[in-house]
Amino acid sequence: MAHRAVALGPLRWTGTAAAVLVVALVLGTLAAVASRAGSGAALASADVAAVLFTLQQAAVSAVLSVALAVPVARALARRRFAGRRALVALMGAPFILPVIVAVFGLLAIFGRGGLLNAGLGALGLGPVSVYGFGGVVLANVFFNLPLATRLILQGWSAIPAERFRLAATLNAPVGRLLERPMLRDVLPGAALAIFLICLASFAVALILGGGPRATTVEVAIFQALRFDFDPAKAALLALVQVALCTVAAGLAGLVTVPAAFGPGLDRVPARWDGRGRGARLADGAAIALAAAFLLAPLAMVVAQGFVGLGQLPLQVWPAALRSLAVALSASVLAVGLALAMALRGGALVQVAGVLPLASSALVMGTGLFVLSHGWLDPGHIALPATALVNAAASLPFAFRALAPAVGRIEAAHGPLADTLGLTGWPRLRWLYLPRLRGELGFAAGLSAALSVGDLGVITLFAGPDSATLPLVMYRLMGSYRLQAAAGVALMLLAMALAVFWAFDRGGRGHAAA
Amino acid sequence: MKKILTLASVAGLCLIAQAAVADTPVLTVYTYDSFAADWGPGPQIKSGFEETCGCTVKFVTAGDGAALLSRLELEGAAGRADVAVGLDTSLIARARETGLFATSGVGESYDMPVAWDDPVFVPFDWGYFAFVANKGAPEVHSFKELAASNIKIVIEDPRSSTPGLGLLLWVKKAYGDGAAKIWADLADNIVTVTPGWDQAYGLFLNGEADAVLSYSTSPAYHLIAENDPSKVAWTFDEGQYMQIEVAARMAASKQPDLAQKFLAYLVSDKAQAVIPTTNWMYPVVMPKEGLPKGFEMPVAPDKALLMSPDEAAAARDGALEEWRTALSR
Amino acid sequence: MLRLEAVRIVQDDFALTADFTLPPAAVTAVLGPSGAGKSTLLGAIAGFVAPAAGRILWEGRDLTPLPPGARPVSILFQDNNLFPHLDIARNVALAITPAARPGPDVTDRVHAALAQLGLQGMEGRRPGALSGGQQSRAALARVLVAGRPVVLLDEPFAALGPALRAELLDLTRAQLLAAGCSVLMVTHDPADAARIADHAIVVAEGKVSPPAPTSALLADPPPALRAYLGQP
């Protein structure tokens, strides 16, 4: 791709700078933490157990998410029905939900006092417990099933409609001829992507873990920083997490990671297979079960939230504005960095594009704190620092949405741009930006939505007057005010969906052929 | 795009405006989130102290007591804090080691079940850890009874939360070498272990467990703030473990006198009267009008358990390992 | 004058050598079997394929180190000759300047070129709103406006019907020769070559034959071309 370097001109350096910035943010903050005094002791046996548990839950969650996503994606790929588009969009909601909100939604269905056990009890059946290894996996599948479905659905959409036509005229088995090879290509990459996400598994999901066996590296980091104040050890653990992620990302480089994670899943090609009653029943069941699994907890979040809306304290409104400002800044930052990196391409950006997945927000925030301390008032940089960390957290997703699209644009229109001598900024202005509009909207919406729901590092910096909405929610939870917190959770859900919808919609508007 | 930039810069400007320097001296108080929250004791204590001090109180917050101490340690001697409010007995040994805190200069006689003569750390409220449950549900009154029952409980992780650590030390103090056995027997009663108090309490309120490790004053919150008398705190025959929350002034403070005045105000009658129904803990000095309904003492003072800071620091790692081993089976 | 001097193109196990001078101000057809390297040859001249050896000279100046946009060469591909997201006036104007608001002189030239090709009144339309023939005309207008002396045609009209294709070939020849361009045109159809090309070269068996008059070449094809044309 020496050729692309010429075409990009100075833009290439922007991409390099963006990638270096991301790597520096992850490793630099880690180094800053390590520079603080601490024992730097080697990993204890408890830490090794945490590493093993982390790997184990990530692996099982990844395999299960992908396995369950296959029938759902197949059903969505070959069925047209009213509300399909809305369903695909809504099924992505767990992914952008604040983790604690999602966990409480899940428990309202699957918990000891949840609907499932109430139903079982009515039938005279004993209660089932969700807590334990199964609970952690359940939460991970809940968060990642939408992503897996999207990745696999993309694989199905990438099979040209003509192939289905050909298969139909030959009366050939679509499954063996077209779908199985596609799945062979797509599944390993999708599983690895989810494995990576689960590696830095949300500590809060450990509520479902049932006890100290369900301890991840992130918990060990928390303990090292908060209770032992041993920054060197926290940094060592963070480094282990980064190393695990880098190895997994390296593996992901060996298999084909699904080409795209982006918009445009609305088209359903005409199909001639799967018209039997059995296939239709199976597809209907897959869609109904997945929708129920993903949407029922959301419905509980909404139901519980409505009760709390009347008790919202006044400070939720300025907090909502601050959250919006943080989300928009994080979104612009994440998409800007991801675009610069996607345009540049190459090994450096591939690494920088996944590295933030492995980074611990606590370590990153503490590192930023150490770096800024002494010359910046933490209160002043609370919101910028939160936006920066949130941007880093959503960067991998924005990058995945943009990078394959850049490749496609380059293949289709690069030669024309080359003959016209469109390099550097004009190439961005006339070719990439307009052609990437849909992907940019999607990436910006996703980043903003993730940021709205993310507590990020605000707790490390914020004074009482610069709280974001998630922080207000945690503060309410920490003061017995659960109903009000549920109201805030509903606000967060609505805001996350709204910003995603607005950006995604903006990207699609005027999207001419 | 322009709009986004405008929004971001508005947010930035607000922050700068808010930090605009006032001409009165500013006392910077580091505390935990819920202390400074609108519904916490912070706002009333701030306005009460400002009436007399001719200064402005500025709160800077961290997530909880442990996060607060970590932040103070990160900032080190170059920190901006004048006073820290909200460390607790389990953090004192670590806090003392940092050398960041100065002698308080406040000597008060406190109404607590244990004597207090620490020259540096000033207590400002205290409570008993207790299991909280719904009234009318089966009750137990010792760890042994609890372990023998089918009652399901939620507890907090001693590696990431103060109540979790409190429970760990409670069992250790009550049972010593027998603590491991108690934990092993309790294992099947524990629904789950949460990273923090708020999640555990949320699980309990959502019906995920019969009881939760919280404070003996938790039912008072429901009674007074929500007019809901349905919660009860169990008292245990082994005794009730205490948590004492403390404040201290920083050695590096440039306003040592003002900081000392603030500590004195914190244990004054006026500030102490605010504590019960905002921080939902017992005051360290009994207010003139006494305690609100719901704050009746659950146990006699001789049932109060507490390890000294040094004792707690020495016991922690071993107890943690016992806990981890027993619950990992 | 465009000259290929001992050019050798290597891609994996494919190799092609070329050594010829393109007849100036004339149309030269590129004939040869599929996969022989006709498009690759054009790619080398346009700057998309770097030759392993040899030089490509324009007026004695070596073009090989130059990127595509810096060469005195325009090219029309089989498809994607216009950006689908820009109207055709903007598409044509990009051949002159990437400025967001081009000056009146640029606009005038663009409009004149579009009018010359029968597209007046359609300046504001995007390619998707034009017929295949109109798209080809817009692309041709872009080449004319670019004003580069060498024009490469890589079967840009292959998807059009016979009558429309013949019409566009005639139009292309007339317009480009009037502008003084040297044209190199890949085609599958000897009739197209006979219709508009003065000269023809044959790409076959890893070699490029030197230009010969089209009529003479088609009357007495060399063996490689003979096989391709299906003649005994």
Specify if B6 maps to a domain: no
Instruction: Check whether residue A497 and residue A387 sit in a common domain.
Output: yes
Alpha carbon separation from A11 to A7, A334, A427, B200 (Å, rounded): 9, 17, 10, 50
First to last CA, chain C: 36
What is the domain range of residue A330? 1-21+310-354+379-513
Query: Does A170 share its domain with A106?
Result: yes
Window from A161-165, B138-142, C65-69, C220-224 with minimum mean pLDDT: A161-165
| Closest residue on chain B to A486 (Cα) | B202
On whether residue A177 sits in a domain, the answer given is: yes
Lookup: tokens for B93: 């040994």
Question: What is the b/e burial string over A226-240, where b = at least 16 CB atoms within 10 angstroms of the residue's CB?
Answer: bbbbbbbbbbbbbbb
Confidence of residue A113 (pLDDT cuts 50, 70, 90): confident
Output the CA angle A393-A398-A404, nearest 5 degrees: 140
Q: Is B133 part of a structural domain of the chain? A: yes
Kindly list the partner chains of chain C, i.e. chains with 3 or more CB atom pairs below 8 Å.
A
CB neighbour burial string for A112-144, b if at least 16 within 10 angstroms, e if fewer: bbbebbeeeeeeeeeeebbbbbbbbbbbbbbbb
Residues A6 and A141 in one domain: no
Q: A82 in a domain, yes or no? A: yes
- Report residue A407: phi and psi, to 5°: -60, -45
Interface test with A, best of C63, C80, C91, C125 (most A CBs within 10 A): C80
pLDDT value of position C24: 93
Residue A363 lies in a domain: no
Q: Angle between the A180-199 and A347-358 helix axes, to the nearest 10 degrees?
A: 50
Q: What is the mean pLDDT of chain B?
A: 89
Q: At B31, is the pLDDT very low, low, confident or very high (cuts 50, 70, 90)?
A: very high
Q: Please report which confidence band the pLDDT of residue A5 belongs to, taking 50, 70 and 90 as the band edges.
A: low
At residue A263, the pLDDT reads: 54
* Residue A498 half-sphere exposure toward CB, CA atoms < 13 A: 11
Averaged pLDDT for residues A100-112: 89
Looking at the fold, whether B149 and B179 belong to one and the same domain comes out as: yes
pLDDT exceeds 60 at position A1:
no
Same domain, A95 and A237: yes
Whether residue A247 is found in the same domain as residue A290: yes
For residues A358-374, give the mean pLDDT.
83
C2-72+149-229 CATH choice from 3.40.50.970, 3.90.550.10, 3.40.50.300, 3.40.630.10: 3.40.50.300
Whether chain B has a CB inside 8 Å of the CB on A325: the answer is yes
Pick C84's closest partner by Cβ from A419, A429, A513. A513
Please check the confidence at residue B21 and state whether its pLDDT lies above 60.
no
Residue C126 vs residue A351, higher pLDDT: C126
Work out the percent of chain C whose per-residue pLDDT is above 90: 73
B83 shares a domain with B227 = no
> Residue B262: inside a domain, yes or no?
yes
- Residue A28 is given by DSSP the state I
Least-confidence region, from A154-168, C4-18, C69-83: A154-168
Residue with structure tokens 């990302």?
A: A249
**Average pLDDT estimate for A139-160:** 86
pLDDT tens-digit readout, C175-192: 999 999 999 999 888 888
Q: Is residue B7 part of a domain?
A: no
A459 touches chain B (CB under 8 A): yes
Query: Which of A4, A419, A440 to mutate to test binding with chain C, by most C CBs within 10 Å of its CB?
Result: A419
Contact exists between B and A (3 or more beta carbon pairs < 8 Å): yes
pLDDT for B18 beyond 70: no
Our CA-based measurement puts residue A158 at a distance from the nearest CA of chain C, in whole angstroms, of: 20
Does position B10 have pLDDT exceeding 60, yes or no?
no
| Judgement on whether residues B140 and B39 belong to the same structural domain of the protein | no
Same domain, A501 and A413: yes
Q: Indicate whether B171 pLDDT > 90.
A: yes
Least confident of A306-310, B130-134, B240-244: A306-310
Residues of A in contact with C94 (CB under 8 A): 420, 422, 430
Q: What is the pLDDT of residues C99-122, one digit of tens each?
A: 888 899 999 999 999 999 999 999
Which pLDDT score, from 0 to 100, does residue C92 have?
Answer: 94
Looking at residues C135-141, what average pLDDT do you find?
94
Residues pairing with B231 in the sheet:
B134
Q: Which residues of C touch A420 (CB under 8 A)?
A: 69, 94-95, 146
Number of neighbours of residue A262 by Cβ within 10 angstroms: 23
Are residues A463 and A494 both part of a single domain? yes
Containing H/E element for A331?
helix A316-344
Measured between alpha carbons, how far is A145 from A156 in angstroms, rounded to an integer?
Answer: 16
Cβ-based burial of C80 (10 A; exposed 0-12, middle 13-18, buried ≥19): middle
Arithmetic mean of pLDDT, A210-218 = 82
As a residue count, chain B comes to 329
- The residue that leads in pLDDT, C63 or A374, is C63
Domain presence at residue A296: yes
Q: pLDDT at position B76, please?
A: 86
Q: Are B118 and B247 contained in the same domain?
A: yes
Residue A439 has pLDDT above 50, yes or no: yes
Determine, for residues A380 and B16 on separate chains, whether the beta-carbon distance falls below 8 Å: yes
Q: Residue C173 and residue C169: Cα distance in Å, rounded?
A: 6
Closest to B8 (Cβ–Cβ): which among A231, A329, A480? A329
Using CA atoms, how far residue A308 sits from A305, A453, A489, in Å, is 5, 18, 9
**pLDDT at B95 > cutoff 80:** yes
How many whole angstroms separate alpha carbon B86 and alpha carbon B65?
6
Q: What pLDDT does A378 receive?
A: 78
- Nearest alpha-carbon partner for A370 in A166, A176, A247, A225: A225
| Residue A32 within any structural domain of the chain | no
Residues B221 and B253 in one domain: no
Other residues' Cβ atoms within 10 Å of the Cβ of residue B59: 23
Q: Rounded to whole angstroms, how far apart are CA atoms C18 and C35?
A: 16
> CA of B258, closest CA in chain A: separation in Å?
21
Identify whether the C-beta of residue A41 lies closer than 8 Å to the C-beta of residue A230. Answer: yes
Percent of chain A with pLDDT over 70: 91
C-alpha atoms less than 13 angstroms from C-alpha of A281 in its C-beta half-sphere = 3
CA-CA distance, B143 to B149, in Å (whole number)? 10
Q: Using the structure block, give the residue that is written with the tokens 């099947």.
A: B188
DSSP type of residue A465: T
**B10 assigned to some structural domain:** no
Domains identified in chain B, total number: 2
- What residues of chain A, 110 to 139, have a C-beta less than 8 Å from chain B? 111-113, 129, 131, 135
Give me the number of domains chain A comprises.
Answer: 2
Mutation pick from C81, C85, C90, C148 vs chain A, by most beta carbons of A within 10 Å, is C85
Using 50, 70 and 90 to split pLDDT, how confident is the model at B17?
Answer: very low
Give chain A's mean pLDDT.
84
Q: Are residues A120 and A249 in the same domain?
A: yes
Whether B18 has its CB under 8 Å from any CB of chain A: the answer is yes
**Residue A342 sits in the same domain as residue A291:** no
Task: Say which DSSP state C157 is in.
Answer: T
Residue B40 lies in a domain: yes
| A contact residues 30-69, partner B, Cβ 8 Å cutoff | 36, 46, 49
Q: Report the distance separating Cα B193 and Cα B205, nearest Å.
A: 15
> In this prediction, what percent of chain C has a pLDDT beyond 70?
100
- Say if the Cβ atoms of A423 and C126 lie within 8 Å: no
- Asked whether residue B233 is domain-assigned, the answer is yes
Contact present, A390 and A356 (Cβ < 8 Å): no
Q: Are residues B187 and B38 in the same domain?
A: no
Token representation of residue A377: 């008032």
Distance from CA of residue A466 to its chain's centroid?
26
The answer to the question of residue A359 being in a domain is: no
Tens of pLDDT, residue by residue over C16-73, are: 999 999 999 999 999 988 888 999 999 999 999 999 999 999 999 999 999 898 999 9
Distance between the two ends of chain A, CA-based, in angstroms? 27
pLDDT of A511 above 50? no
- Banded model confidence at residue A329, pLDDT cuts 50, 70, 90: very high
DSSP A394-459: HHHHHHHHHHHHHHHHHHHHHHHHHHTT--HHHHIIIIIHHHTHHHHHHHHHHHHHHHHH--TTHH
The stretch A233-242 carries a mean pLDDT of: 85
Q: Is the pTM of this model over 0.95?
A: no
Domain of A324, CATH number, reads 1.10.3720.10
To which H or E segment does residue A168 belong?
A: helix A161-170
Q: Is residue A31, in this structure, part of any structural domain at all?
A: no
One domain for residues A202 and A115 = yes
Q: Which domain holds residue B87?
A: 22-125+243-283
Q: Are residues A287 and A318 in the same domain?
A: no
Structure tokens belonging to residue B83 = 């006073």
- The predicted model gives A120-136 an average pLDDT of 86
* Facing A418 at nearest CB: one of C68, C86, C94: C68
How many helices and strands (H and E) does chain A possess? 25, 0
Tell me if A191 is assigned to some domain.
Answer: yes
Same domain flag for B269 and B229? no
Angle between helices A99-110 and A482-508 (to 10 degrees): 110
Mean pLDDT throughout B1-17? 46
Going by pLDDT thresholds of 50, 70 and 90, the confidence category of residue A158 is confident
ipTM reported for the complex, 2 dp: 0.89
B209, closest residue in chain A (CA to CA): A112
Q: Minimum mean pLDDT among A163-167, A450-454, B34-38, B250-254: which range? A: A163-167
Contact status of C84 with chain A (Cβ, < 8 Å): yes
On whether both B153 and B221 belong to a single domain, the answer is yes
Query: Does some domain include residue B11?
Result: no
Q: Tell me: do A171 and A140 sit in the same domain.
A: yes
Residues B214 and B308 in one domain: yes
Quick check: B5 pLDDT over 80?
no
